[in-house]
A and B are shown apart, each in its own frame.
Chain A
């Protein structure tokens, strides 16, 4: 579906200038911390196996390549080989429907800080974002368990699926084909459609220690193996950033990828090969680090108080 029929930009010239200023400030932030900028390919023979992230594929002569859904695998290959803290501002692509807060093509800021844990990285995210906002804001940090308890009086780590379903029906809406919902689907639904929707405005909210089943590429906690050392950051209910204390163990990572592949097969989704170069890099050794990805277009929405992501992008054809 072609949305934009006019030749003119979808963002105003003021917005584009502000965006340029913001990118400049972000780059200075990292240069001052001796985190250097890298560029990695947008087209690769591999992409993610994550069943919730679909990649856009592209043909180059006879071969199929994928537009990257994030620069994570390439950046970790750099980390394994050079051991320097790095950042990147690049385009990322997802085979997803666009919405007022999401575009299938978007700009991502991703960085990896060697030698710091995920709590220190949350502070770094806060240090980057707060000066970019015109008003002073509150910063709140909750564990996944405590925010669920505060908003829903449920313990997300051990309540029953029936309790989750009951909460959804009572507080959100009825659900179609509820029998196909997994435990994580219910948790995602409550997070996206209840907790995020009820977050107070003008607060930067961090949620950390996600359920182990949602670890993705994060380390599991050594203190509580039911949770992963993963965090997300929200502002006005919009998901802004996702970070991990990075999993260094190649075998565990391979297991998670295989599980993803099984889920994909079960859901009849396109099969995805495991990025063998990424696993080899982990086997070689990823330094202890934490990394985070942050949506630049959404950050601009917040800075400029815009309600549609298109208004923060120069053009929006998709």
Chain B
């Protein structure tokens, strides 16, 4: 099993903590002149996203986590699993509800997503920064009102609800920033 010594610690290093894959965010070395040295690290649990702090005695080793980031195309969901495909090898992989998390709201067939794989199984799914989705439901707005004063909720084809300007109608395609969940613009077909 691959492992890292504390003196190899640096930002981005992937290690196993409490059997979960984690990424080092910050590594602080503390060395008393005549005493034991320590590494105090801030780590992100890659499965839960939670940030924790841990202190290590310098010189200890910790198991490496076999984690890699890869781009995959989203294919479809069968309700239980979301299926993705590597566009080079055409290998498919599936992610469950916990792994997909909030990303499900932005997943549209054929979009390219970033998956984090741990021992080749997905542990997180990141949608593209921008997606284009169709409006399936919204109150009829005021046609021609493009002044941009006010907005209304609209449901998208994926089930996500975003705030859109009043002039947006059912059936229109809009661009959304998935990081903030905000409407960006209307896409004219």
Where the two chains meet, the residues of A that have a C-beta atom closer than 8 Å to any C-beta of B are 50, 52-53, 96-97, 99, 102, 168, 172-177, 180-181, 184-185, 187-189, 191-193, 214, 216, 232, 239, 242, 267, 293
Q: Is there contact, CB below 8 Å, between A192 and B30?
A: yes
**Assembly CA distance A172 to B55 (angstroms):** 8
Task: Report chain B residues within 8 Å CB of A173.
Answer: 40, 52-55
Contact A174–B36 (Cβ < 8 Å): no
**Most chain A C-beta atoms within 10 Å of own C-beta, residue among B17, B33, B54:** B33
Q: Are A176 and B36 in contact (CB under 8 A)?
A: no
* Chain B residues whose C-beta falls within 8 Å of the C-beta of A232 in the assembled complex: 33
Interface size on B, residues (CB 8 A): 24
Question: In chain B between 32 and 69, which residues have their CB closer than 8 angstroms to a CB of chain A?
Answer: 32-38, 40, 52-60, 62
Report how many A-B pairs have Cβ atoms within 8 Å. Answer: 79
Contact A52 B37 (CB under 8 A): yes
Among residues of A, the one whose C-beta sits closest to the C-beta of B60 is A177
Task: Say yes or no: A185 contacts B54, CB within 8 Å.
Answer: no
8 smallest CB-CB distances across A and B, nearest first, come from: A188-B35, A173-B53, A99-B29, A188-B36, A192-B30, A185-B36, A176-B56, A175-B55
Q: Among the listed B7, B17, B32, B56, which residue makes an inter-chain contact with A192, where contact means beta carbons less than 8 Å apart?
A: B32
A175 to B60, CA, bound (A): 12
Whether the Cβ atoms of A52 and B36 lie closer than 8 Å is yes
CA distance A38 to B35 in the complex (A): 28
- B179 close to A (CB within 8 Å): no
Docked-complex contact A185 and B28, CB < 8 angstroms: no
- Complex-state Cα separation, A272 to B104, whole angstroms: 60
Q: Would you list 8 pairs from A and B whose C-beta atoms are within 8 A, ordered by A residue?
A: A97-B58, A173-B53, A173-B54, A176-B55, A176-B62, A184-B36, A188-B32, A193-B38
Q: Which residues of A contact B163 (CB under 8 A)?
A: none
Given contact pairs A97-B29, A99-B29, A239-B33, A193 touches B56 in the complex (Cβ within 8 A): no
* B31 adjacent to A184 (CB under 8 Å): no
Chain A's closest residue to B35 (CB) is A188
Known contacts being A174-B52, A176-B54, A176-B55, is A239 close to B32, with CB within 8 Å? yes
Distance (whole angstroms) from the CB of A276 to the closest CB of chain B: 22
Given contacts A177-B60, A192-B30, A193-B30, contact A168 B35 (CB under 8 A): no
Q: Given the complex, which residues of A lie within 8 Å of B33, measured CB to CB? A: 232, 239, 242, 293
Chain B residues with CB under 8 A of A102:
29, 31
Q: Which residues of B contact A168 (CB under 8 A)?
A: 55
Q: How far is the CA of A193 from the CA of B32 in the complex (A)?
A: 10
Q: Are A99 and B54 in contact (CB under 8 A)?
A: no
Residue picked from B28, B37, B40, most chain A C-beta under 10 Å: B37
Residues of B close to A239: CB separation below 8 A: 32-33
Is B55 touching A99 in the complex (CB atoms < 8 A)?
Answer: no
Q: How far is the CA of A97 from the CA of B7 in the complex (A)?
A: 7
CA–CA, A180 to B40, complex, Å?
16
